[in-house]
Structure 1
Amino acid sequence: QCLKTPPEPLYGGGLVVNPSLDDGVNGWAPFGSARLNHAESDDGNKYVVASERSQAFDSFSQEFDLDAEKLYSLSAWIRVSEGRMDGVDVSVNVKTNGGDFITAGWVVAREDCWAMLKGGFVVDKSGPAHIFFQSNVTGVDIWADSISLQHFTTEEWESHRSQTIDRARKRTVKFWAVDEYGRPVENATVSITQTRSGFPLGVAINNNLIGNAAYQDWFARRFKYTVFENEMKWYATESTRGTEDYSAADALLGFAKSHGIAVRGHNVFWDAKNYQPSWVPWISVPDLWTAVNRRLNSVVGRYKGQLIHWDVVNESMHYRFFELRLSRRFSSIFFSRARDLDSTALPFLNEFNTIEESGDGVASPSRYLQKIQELRQGGYNGPLGIGLQGHFRVLNLPYVRAALDTLGSTGLPVWITELDVGNGPNQAALLDQILRELHAHPAVKGIIMWSAWRPGGCYRMCLTDNNFRNLPTGDVVDRILGEFILREGAVYGKTNSDGVFEASLLHGDYEVGVSHPDGDYNSDSRQIKISPVQLEEEE
């Protein structure tokens, strides 16, 4: 949203002094060499202005005493005095007394309206710190209003997460037991067994799975969703110009089909020059047009109707190989063509650092929204998915939640497509935290982990050793599966005097049985599907 007048600050401003700038610039100070001004629009809205900026960090700031045990959510409404066609990147940052700088959020600001910046952060050490704003475009004044900083204890954060899971991932279901005359049956036994998860959680696989019974068994007992690590990529299927080899991808897809496992297609094109087949960067523009059309028709046509998603142009925010060589509308053109070829696979953008690295403004949530708008303006108006890779080094849960809020505002399905956590002594604990955070967010419709097994070590995070015994990270995944994805065993209960038994159940498919209190001679069973929208009974 870009508004004429900002709304009131979240949490009433929280810890911020003078969050709505109704009291002049009280509580605010210049940061760097900027000049600080108080301004008022024709409609009476008041705001702070940083002008005469010569360095990126020249702006305004407020000092806070931060607590390393708390999580901080931050928001502000931002505008600039003049802007470019694609907007001006403005970030909010934290400078600690120890000299550390933390980027807490981004917004693409405009000159004709107010845009919301939403972010968050944590600090390693308690103590004083300054919150300030920044833009590399020094020729513009930065305006801000309705600024908020709110802290949360770990208990408060986790409580909110649990409440969200109850709302977004579960339904309260009532079962009625009646006899042949429609009279309620008291004390009937109700058994409820989950047979399939309603939330997709999966792991990438690769060609090491082919012919490896131990790997196949470990995987198939846990997961119903996957993606192939490299086997569908162009450099894997056509390393020599004109000679295609889909044998590895075909074998992996055969395994998936035989076990009822859904597959994401990754990817049709990769927008980085260094990840093309070796012959692609050197051919002429007309030959490249021929090659990309042949590639699209080949891979999408071959797997038509067999995949749930396609990453059509991978990492097109960080890289622009095809846009620079062929057309700035390359993504729009090929999203449309991919959708025309296979209307059953949802086309996805797929990008890194949008949720995992707050300092990367190239792929900030605001820039991601702009990329979606660019696709639409370029002529693609079909269905679309938001792919967020999630290669985490450190965790900034408030930033993750704020980023998902921003992207979730589109109403488009969000998938975490390549989740992993860098190696280190706390890898398993961090994986546990981020899985819980991502699963709880209502915008997230599925999670795929980037942990395809290799005998010499995985990309960054393995779940098993070479004998397919769980590592601590694998134990985390099993625990999450049992808690939130597919509950093992049956839930039992008794109906009350009205013949009713009530249970809170995760979304998914269930086998429900009801036994009469006088014995099993009069029992019934049904298959039901519990969805976020409605309870459907299947014949």
Structure 2
Amino acid sequence: MELSNWMLTVPNEISYRDDFSNEKPRIAMQQQRQVQTVNGFDENTLFSPYTKQEWRSYQHKKINEGRKTQLNFIITYPNKTAVKGAKIHIKQLTSDFHWGCGMTHRILNNPAYKKWFASKFTAADFHNELKWYYTEPHPGQENYTDPDTMLKFADKHGIIVRGHTVLWDDVKYQQKWVKKLSPEKLLQAANKRVDSIVKRYKGRLVGWDVMNENLHHNFFEKRLGKNASAIFYNRVYNIDPNTTLYMNEFNTTEHVNDKWAAPEKYLRRLKEIRTYPGNSGMKMGIGLQCHYGADPIDLHYVRNSLSLLSQVGLPIWLTELDVKMDPALENKSQLQVIYLEEILRESFSHASVKAIIIWTGASIDGCDVMCMTNEKLENTPVGDLIDRLMEEWKTGNIEVVSDSNGISQVSVFNGRYEVTVVDPLTNVSSRVTFKVDKVSLPDKNIHLQILV
């Protein structure tokens, strides 16, 4: 696996050999490898020149550094006396990381699907329901009934929604009437579209995909000029200035040979949009579709891509993640789970990745690529994997006990917590809620008093 050319473009990531403290000569490592095979497939091709255990160890290290905080509970009475043996009940209320899923209008008349979705996810992308061709298939005939109702459902259950998408730069997905417009009429129609959807949902969405896939495509640039995307970002920004605006692109992490969407080209376009006159104060984010194919994933490329993109300090969302398998493969289901787990673990180890949207969830939305459930909302192997990782990457409910100095330490995933402290002598309890992250708790100390 050749990495040298790519590594030269990534500062501070010159060699993975700096990532592992127990580095051994490559020959020795190869001799120690435990090869897992699925009908001849060698899983270690994902990790060469490291073992799976070494790769996973580094991921755990980055997760602990970027997504967890070690709390120091200091329990005292009002007179500052330390409380020995105080029980500290810790309950995670929310996570700083969002698990999300694609959603379609089919959820609206299916109570079981609604219950399933609301029980698992805190974020959503609508598949098509916010796209221009869906809301205005014929000129002047707008219909927002489906997205209005879907957003109402999401709001009711505390699910944040991305605005996918205001405009799409691919000519294939333009309405026939849009394709026929002159440049002057196209600009009028596109501006009307921007104003209509952004004003309607202003302040209600976590982000907007303003111009979808404008690294690979250029429908609007060809007709309106090279700065068309930057101008539309500016228009959205002026209507909804407090919402994060995203680029949303495919193949930036998936394929090393895609000449259009490599990370450095993604960042170049991002800079062009941010530096366009009037856009300097715009909140922006990085949207990566993450549609992986049937070939073994190049985790080295994924890691370097996410590391490079993270350096600009913007939130990264994986917006449409799935793994497509060759239907001719006898072991396709097993390989799909293997590939999916590795890409999820690698993505989660980068703290700049704030959310992962799975594409798709329930089979009611179609399973042409990947689904978490069957028609009865029973888990597929993909669903089992995601449930397992959801459980692994949360703190849940735990209990610790203070020592003779009234101190107890525990490492938790960043998020909001409710903590109840119980006096060992009187069973009197005190309760408090607070936010856990490196900004909210820079010294990591939680001082709690038991009132008697």
Query: TM-score over 0.5 for the alignment?
Result: yes
Question: How many residues matched?
Answer: 406
Structure 1 residue 327, shift from structure 2 partner? 1.6
Structure 1 residue 529, shift from structure 2 partner? 1.1
What is the match of residue 10 of structure 1? 14
Whether 1:411 and 2:313 are equivalent positions in the alignment is yes
What is the match of residue 501 of structure 1? 408
1:309 to 200, 207, 211: 207
More helix by percentage: 2
The question of whether the paired residues in 2 share the 8 Å contact of 1:189 and 1:516 is answered with yes
The question of whether the paired residues in 2 share the 8 Å contact of 1:176 and 1:501 is answered with yes
What is the match of residue 530 of structure 1? 436
Q: Take 1:317 and 1:478, find their aligned partners in 2: how far apart are those partners?
A: 34
Q: Take 2:289 and 2:312, find their aligned partners in 1: how far apart are those partners?
A: 18
Partner letter of residue 462 of structure 1? C
Structure 1 residue 460, shift from structure 2 partner? 1.5
More strand by percentage: 1
The question of whether the paired residues in 1 share the 8 Å contact of 2:362 and 2:377 is answered with no
Closer, same or farther in 2 for the Cα pair 1:311/1:12, shift >3 Å?
closer
Q: Take 1:493 and 1:9, find their aligned partners in 2: how far apart are those partners?
A: 38
- Equivalences for 1:18-417 in 2 at 5 Å? 123=45, 151-379=49-277, 380-381=279-280, 382-393=282-293, 394-417=296-319
Closer, same or farther in 2 for the Cα pair 1:177/1:406, shift >3 Å?
same
What is the match of residue 436 of structure 1? 345
Q: Take 1:269 and 1:7, find their aligned partners in 2: how far apart are those partners?
A: 34
Q: Take 1:513 and 1:9, find their aligned partners in 2: how far apart are those partners?
A: 43
Closer, same or farther in 2 for the Cα pair 1:339/1:523, shift >3 Å?
same
What is the match of residue 458 of structure 1? 367
Closer, same or farther in 2 for the Cα pair 1:465/1:487, shift >3 Å?
farther
The CA RMSD measured in Å over matched residues stands at 2.6
Partner letter of residue 407 of structure 1? L
1:515 to 417, 422, 428: 422
**Identical aligned pairs, as a percentage?**
37
Q: Take 2:218 and 2:421, find their aligned partners in 1: how far apart are those partners?
A: 59
TM-score between both structures, scaled by the size of structure 1: 0.71
Q: Take 2:90 and 2:219, find their aligned partners in 1: how far apart are those partners?
A: 53
Question: Structure 1: any 5+ residue segments left out of the alignment?
Answer: 1-5, 15-63, 71-121, 126-149
User: Which protein is bigger by CA-based radius of gyration?
Assistant: 1
Deviations 1:13-49, CA, capped at 9 Å, x for gaps: 99xxxxxxxxxxxxxxxxxxxxxxxxxxxxxxxxxxx
Q: Take 2:111 and 2:16, find their aligned partners in 1: how far apart are those partners?
A: 58
Structure 1 residue 151, shift from structure 2 partner? 3.4
The question of whether the paired residues in 2 share the 8 Å contact of 1:192 and 1:511 is answered with yes
The question of whether the paired residues in 2 share the 8 Å contact of 1:69 and 1:154 is answered with no
Structure 1 residue 443, shift from structure 2 partner? 2.2
Closer, same or farther in 2 for the Cα pair 1:11/1:387, shift >3 Å?
closer
Closer, same or farther in 2 for the Cα pair 1:377/1:530, shift >3 Å?
closer
Q: Take 1:68 and 1:249, find their aligned partners in 2: how far apart are those partners?
A: 56
Closer, same or farther in 2 for the Cα pair 1:352/1:11, shift >3 Å?
closer
Q: Take 2:197 and 2:45, find their aligned partners in 1: how far apart are those partners?
A: 46
Does the residue aligned with 1:333 lie in a helix, a strand or coil? helix
Partner letter of residue 511 of structure 1? E
Structure 1 residue 231, shift from structure 2 partner? 0.3
The question of whether the paired residues in 1 share the 8 Å contact of 2:363 and 2:377 is answered with no
Q: Take 2:63 and 2:371, find their aligned partners in 1: how far apart are those partners?
A: 27
Does the residue aligned with 2:433 lie in a helix, a strand or coil? strand
Structure 1 residue 196, shift from structure 2 partner? 1.0
Partner letter of residue 415 of structure 1? W
Q: Take 1:350 and 1:290, find their aligned partners in 2: how far apart are those partners?
A: 24
Partner letter of residue 386 of structure 1? I
Closer, same or farther in 2 for the Cα pair 1:474/1:287, shift >3 Å?
same
The question of whether the paired residues in 2 share the 8 Å contact of 1:235 and 1:278 is answered with no
The question of whether the paired residues in 2 share the 8 Å contact of 1:358 and 1:364 is answered with yes
Structure 1 residue 454, shift from structure 2 partner? 4.7
Q: Take 1:429 and 1:504, find their aligned partners in 2: how far apart are those partners?
A: 28
Q: Take 1:8 and 1:391, find their aligned partners in 2: how far apart are those partners?
A: 27
Closer, same or farther in 2 for the Cα pair 1:513/1:427, shift >3 Å?
same
TM-score between both structures, scaled by the size of structure 2: 0.85
Structure 1 residue 501, shift from structure 2 partner? 1.1
Partner letter of residue 317 of structure 2? W
Does the residue aligned with 1:279 lie in a helix, a strand or coil? helix
Q: Take 1:69 and 1:446, find their aligned partners in 2: how far apart are those partners?
A: 35
Q: Take 1:504 and 1:174, find their aligned partners in 2: how far apart are those partners?
A: 9
Structure 1 residue 376, shift from structure 2 partner? 3.4
Q: Take 2:11 and 2:347, find their aligned partners in 1: how far apart are those partners?
A: 28
Q: Which has the higher contact order (CA 8 A, sep 6+)?
A: 2
